[in-house]
Amino acid sequence: MFFYRITEGIRITVTPFFLEPQSDPGEPRYVFAYHIRIENVGSTAARLRRRHWLIHDPVAGDSEVEGEGVVGQEPLLEPGGVHEYQSFCVLRGPEGHMEGSYLMERPDGTTFRAVIPRFLLRLQTH
């Protein structure tokens, strides 16, 4: 199962999956990974500057994460360009969801938020 959204020519596709070997329901600890594909389907370049995540864990509560770039990078996406990466999230419950945005910057200095669609984290996603 995958989730995607297009904002101002930036298509973000998310594929989540459950990491059973790293999880321990007795703790409780449920580890989910997600693969992100960011594609510039528009006609103007954009650089990913910041990330903003909202993480919903029904057991531990909601949390928010902000930071520069993604996995230590601020990729420049020319038209037709793609950047992919994987990351993970640890929940205390067997399901939850994430959503957020990337702050993107155009060559002229203007910025916009590319929406990361809400995606489900649950045991059935593997």
Q: What is the pLDDT of residues 18-53, one digit of tens each?
A: 999 999 999 999 999 999 999 999 999 999 999 999
- Distance (Å, whole) CA 77 – CA 87: 20
In whole angstroms, how far apart are CA 94 and each of 1, 28, 30? 17, 9, 6
* Residue 3 reports pLDDT greater than 80: yes
Q: Is 75 helix (H, G, I), strand (E, B) or coil?
A: coil
Among left, alpha and beta (phi > 0; psi -120 to 50; other), residue 61 is left
Tell me how many domains the chain contains: 1
Among 15, 114, 100, CA closest to 53: 100
Cα 18 to Cα 122: distance, rounded to the nearest angstrom: 7
The CATH number covering residue 81 comes to 2.60.40.1470
Domain housing 17: 3-125
Residue 123 confidence (pLDDT): 87
Percent of the chain clearing pLDDT 90 (strictly above): 95
Average pLDDT over residues 92-110: 98
